[in-house]
Structure 1
Amino acid sequence: MTTTPLAYPRQEQELTGEDTRLRNWAKNSRLGPPGSVVTPATEAELCDYLATSDGRVRMIGSRMSPGRMIQVADQTGTLLDLSTLSGVISSTDDTATFAGSTPLAEVYAFLSARGQMLPASPGVIAEQTLAGALATGTHGQGLQQSSIAGAALSIRMVLADGTVAEFDRDHPDFPAVQLGLGSLGVITAVTLRARKSVIYTCLKNAVGADRLEADLETWNRENSLVKAWWFPQENQVQVWKANEATADEVRRYRVGGGELLQHATTNNTMNGTVESTLRHLRDDTKGVADDGKPLRTVTRFRDFTDVTGDVYQIFCRGIATPQINVEIAIPLARAGEVITKIKKWHAETRPRMHYPIILRCTGPSDGWLSPSHEQDTCYFGFVVYYAADGSLSDEGESYLRAVERALAEEGGRPHWGKYFDESLYDWPALYPQWEAFRQVREALDPQHRFANAFAEALLD
């Protein structure tokens, strides 16, 4: 396919009125022309709109993906705002059905109130919609689970002609619908598997990175949920290991009214590392935007307070701030080799980093286009923040381009909802079911109404 090497877009600072609605979350892309947003109030209205109109359409959700994923194909396309199609539709003892545009935070709150959780660990940000999380492969951490789409039992979609289709796990197209890139139809309802909530105790520690190649897999094999942040310049790792809490810890958590239980700690062994990273961040961003949130995302690494709580209280605690985030999935069996490669590259180049490398591992996914399809996977995450004037430093851009190129050479699969240079990847070679997915797309959307320039280049 013909592609253009990725250029990270500049962030727009002064937005008002409809222009705010027509920008993605990071405010670095315009999604469509004025007047292009249509807001159906019900699924029936959505069906009627698609049945009686023509032209390209894209769903904007919470707008947290890069703009090219959401943008309409041309100046006559339509952006579908489905925010009214939100909330709980129905539930049983061990399932819950939500409208597609329900924010993940509401999904988690509903389940937590019932003493339940998904059989999937959350990501750190819960503002995205359920449909968007499925469409892009949102995932958490822990080899005993995979992406949030792995919890889906059935998915309801409105197709390009306005008809409604239901897909359950017995349907042959279900692995395509699980992660459809917004290119198959409009997800209006998802039935999720629910399980009894587990109360975890998460232990936080700082360790050296000399043995990270071996330690990473060991940590993940020996603990239920693991997340690690690697600071190559200081050769340190902050690692969180979460396992089921003891009976006494659960009792104390319940006595506290189910609020996150914090344990006493005196660990401050990463203060120097944090200060080094903050210096790079301050220098490159010339004063950060978004009320200094990027600074707070880094200063939190001073905190080594062990905690007891449910999975959402422990892991769903991110600070939402616009950024350029590159995340590449590597088979866990090869993660050690990639870590060694990054160490060598870092020693030679000494890049200026705004944030540590994020390491999250998951088990296999059955979604055809999931980066963790059929394999234990380690996701390597890289972050560069915007300056207050909406620019990115040359050093930050060079860093992201270099690390992505290095991981692409190792057979990495990029996270669909983040930034990546598509010219680096041979998609059919990376995804054995790529052609099968394309055939499902031709069957469900033969006129490619849900395509835009990005999806068209990717899939055609």
Structure 2
Amino acid sequence: MTCENPGYPRRKPQLSENDSRLWNWAQNGPIADKRAVRSPQNEAELQTLVAASEGKVRVTGSKMSPSRMLKVAGQQDTLIDLSNLSGLIEITDDSATFAGGTPLHEVYEMLTGIGRMLPSSPGVIASQTLAGALATGTHGQGLQQSSIADEALSIRMVLADGSTAEFTRDHRWFPAVQLGLGALGVVTQVTLRTQPLTIYTCFKNAVSADTLEQDLLDWNHGFALSKAWWFPNENQVHVWTAREASDVEIRQYRDNNEELLTQEETSDAMNDTIDQTLEHMRSDTKIVDENGKPFRTVTRFKDFSDVTGDVYQVFCRGIATPQINVEIGIPLARAPAVIAKIKAWHTETQPHMHYPIILRCTGPSSSWLSPSAPEATCFFGFVVYYAEDGSLSEEGVNFLQAVEKLLAAEGGKPHWGKYFDASLYDWPALYPEWPAFLEAREALDPQHKFENHFTAVLFD
């Protein structure tokens, strides 16, 4: 059965060429009339545009977020496309400055080309813009790092009156600007700290989930980078753990023209588990193409080939597929207890799932509104894919609603750029610096020019 839920909107697989509306990437929500979109050629044009706007102003990057984050509704509202403000602006020995509209994959490609990298691990999808990644708290995995925003040294914005302001790490409002939800101004430049490019070897294993509570801590404390996919139905975990590559492994990688070096596959331990998961997906999505993107995201869990490469080659390997993605951050110290509660809940309710639970942990963030502030955090990710006709299975929706309620009750904080039920969260209680963020917002945008319906309710 399919389910209609306003929090998880139905998508339109085919959009009419005559549609006057601009839709988000997943095509499950219109964000503006196309006539409201403006594409300034440079920062000066952007300043003039913002200053002259008599309505609300929002900024679109790659449109990967739910439509509520971007939507403009009023006749005088403006949606700004920053794609012309893109590319490298300046580089030093230990930093690089990029325009806010630069896609992350261009940031990564430029840095690796000169033997540098960001100290933060990448998110899995690199089509996001840099400004968008900061605004929503995009993160990777590993306790020695946090979100991409935590690597920002300075952030330049166009404010509501059209003026520009530069925020460095010693500015009182820098922790607000790092993750501002697009509510403070338009980010035009970001200076990021860089470090020498590190080569990693990533080990892939299948293990029982019997001791996942302790294993999760061991993986994250014992390795530089770690990511796991938990299949509760089969009580199995597909886990990646990565360390810096040895001299021998680095030589092998160089001899492979610095392309991702794949070792021989070492296990077929999860083949039955993956086949069962694929059956659930076929039943739910009715997608005919066996090689379709949703199926490929699961089939790859059969691959236990250890690999050697740079951090982007190893971890930035997501397949962009329309989906409902819920991700909730739980303080790492509480993660084992929450895993135990999910196990008990799963045993009792036997929820219908067609994708494993994703587990990624990060170090603490300095951003006031980061879900990983102020302590190390484990992010629990849950995914339901759309059916061929743009609908969602009733069982999938019920699962997402139930598991989010469970984690919200445990003090979880949702990822801002993904789907969540805002009514489940007491924001000031979750974020001690909430009043400080509101103070920064009132100072930088006193007339709330960068507000939309979502942020108006959020900050009420």
TM class, shorter-chain normalised?
A: over 0.9
Letter paired with 1:13: P
Asked if the contact 1:85–1:99 (Cα under 8 Å) also holds between the matched residues in 2, the reply is yes
Per-residue deviation at 1:183? 0.3
Match of 1:303 in 2: 303
The answer as to 2:439 corresponding to 1:439 is: yes
Give the share of equivalent positions with the same residue, in percent. Answer: 66
The answer as to 2:11 corresponding to 1:11 is: yes
Letter paired with 1:434: W
Asked if the contact 1:90–1:97 (Cα under 8 Å) also holds between the matched residues in 2, the reply is yes
Asked if the contact 1:121–1:140 (Cα under 8 Å) also holds between the matched residues in 2, the reply is yes
Q: Distance in 2 between matches of 1:424 and 1:113?
A: 44
* Aligned-partner SS, 1:306: strand
Match of 1:266 in 2: 266
* Aligned-partner SS, 1:111: helix
Q: Distance in 1 between matches of 2:255 and 2:159?
A: 49
Q: Distance in 1 between matches of 2:381 and 2:75?
A: 34
Per-residue CA deviation, residues 105-150 of structure 1 (Å, 9 max, x unaligned), is 0000010001111010001100000000000000000000000001
Asked if the contact 2:21–2:32 (Cα under 8 Å) also holds between the matched residues in 1, the reply is no
RMSD value, Cα = 1.4
Letter paired with 2:37: V
Per-residue CA deviation, residues 81-128 of structure 1 (Å, 9 max, x unaligned), is 110100000110111000001000000001000111101000110000
- Farther off after superposition, 140-149 or 33-42: 33-42
Per-residue CA deviation, residues 52-80 of structure 1 (Å, 9 max, x unaligned), is 22110111110000000010143431110
The answer as to 2:415 corresponding to 1:430 is: no
Asked if the contact 1:6–1:421 (Cα under 8 Å) also holds between the matched residues in 2, the reply is no
The answer as to 2:405 corresponding to 1:380 is: no
The answer as to 2:286 corresponding to 1:283 is: no
Q: Distance in 2 between matches of 1:85 and 1:19?
A: 27
TM-score by length of 1: 0.97
Q: Distance in 2 between matches of 1:331 and 1:20?
A: 44
Per-residue CA deviation, residues 294-320 of structure 1 (Å, 9 max, x unaligned), is 011000000001000000000001101
Asked if the contact 2:20–2:33 (Cα under 8 Å) also holds between the matched residues in 1, the reply is no
Q: Distance in 1 between matches of 2:21 and 2:251?
A: 46
Asked if the contact 1:232–1:346 (Cα under 8 Å) also holds between the matched residues in 2, the reply is yes
Matches within 5 A, 1:71-86: 71-86=71-86
Match of 1:129 in 2: 129
Q: Distance in 1 between matches of 2:419 and 2:289?
A: 20
Structure with more of its chain in strand, by fraction: 2
Match of 1:28 in 2: 28
Asked if the contact 1:288–1:386 (Cα under 8 Å) also holds between the matched residues in 2, the reply is no
The answer as to 2:39 corresponding to 1:39 is: yes
The answer as to 2:146 corresponding to 1:146 is: yes
* Aligned-partner SS, 2:167: strand
Letter paired with 2:348: E
Match of 2:449 in 1: 449
The answer as to 2:225 corresponding to 1:196 is: no
User: How has the CA–CA distance of structure 1 residues 56 and 290 changed in structure 2, closer, same or farther, with 3 Å as cutoff?
Assistant: farther
Per-residue deviation at 1:34? 3.7
Letter paired with 1:119: P
Q: Distance in 1 between matches of 2:224 and 2:34?
A: 48
Per-residue CA deviation, residues 304-355 of structure 1 (Å, 9 max, x unaligned), is 0100000000000110111000000000000011101111111112122121
The answer as to 2:364 corresponding to 1:364 is: yes
Asked if the contact 1:326–1:420 (Cα under 8 Å) also holds between the matched residues in 2, the reply is yes
Letter paired with 1:49: L
The answer as to 2:293 corresponding to 1:293 is: yes
Q: Distance in 2 between matches of 1:396 and 1:324?
A: 10
Asked if the contact 2:11–2:28 (Cα under 8 Å) also holds between the matched residues in 1, the reply is yes
Letter paired with 2:137: G
Q: Distance in 2 between matches of 1:446 and 1:211?
A: 51
Asked if the contact 1:274–1:298 (Cα under 8 Å) also holds between the matched residues in 2, the reply is yes
Q: Distance in 2 between matches of 1:334 and 1:47?
A: 45
Match of 1:104 in 2: 104
Q: Distance in 1 between matches of 2:36 and 2:386?
A: 28
Asked if the contact 1:270–1:301 (Cα under 8 Å) also holds between the matched residues in 2, the reply is yes
Gaps of 5+ in 1: none
User: How has the CA–CA distance of structure 1 residues 20 and 392 changed in structure 2, closer, same or farther, with 3 Å as cutoff?
Assistant: farther
Per-residue CA deviation, residues 28-69 of structure 1 (Å, 9 max, x unaligned), is 000012411111111000001112221101111100000000
Q: Distance in 1 between matches of 2:291 and 2:271?
A: 22
Asked if the contact 1:51–1:162 (Cα under 8 Å) also holds between the matched residues in 2, the reply is yes
- Farther off after superposition, 46-55 or 373-382: 46-55
Per-residue CA deviation, residues 259-313 of structure 1 (Å, 9 max, x unaligned), is 0011112311100110111111111112268972101100000000100000000
Q: Distance in 2 between matches of 1:394 and 1:278?
A: 18
Per-residue deviation at 1:17? 3.7
Asked if the contact 1:13–1:389 (Cα under 8 Å) also holds between the matched residues in 2, the reply is yes
Per-residue deviation at 1:7? 2.2
Q: Distance in 2 between matches of 1:335 and 1:48?
A: 48
Gaps of 5+ in 2: none
Q: Distance in 2 between matches of 1:59 and 1:290?
A: 37
TM-score by length of 2: 0.97
Letter paired with 1:219: W
Per-residue CA deviation, residues 164-209 of structure 1 (Å, 9 max, x unaligned), is 0000001000000000000000000000000001100000000000
Per-residue deviation at 1:18? 6.9
Q: Distance in 1 between matches of 2:325 and 2:280?
A: 17
Q: Distance in 2 between matches of 1:370 and 1:289?
A: 38
Asked if the contact 2:7–2:420 (Cα under 8 Å) also holds between the matched residues in 1, the reply is no
Match of 2:172 in 1: 172
Asked if the contact 1:289–1:389 (Cα under 8 Å) also holds between the matched residues in 2, the reply is no
The answer as to 2:418 corresponding to 1:414 is: no
Match of 1:316 in 2: 316
- Farther off after superposition, 35-44 or 377-386: 35-44
User: How has the CA–CA distance of structure 1 residues 78 and 243 changed in structure 2, closer, same or farther, with 3 Å as cutoff?
Assistant: same
Per-residue deviation at 1:20? 8.5
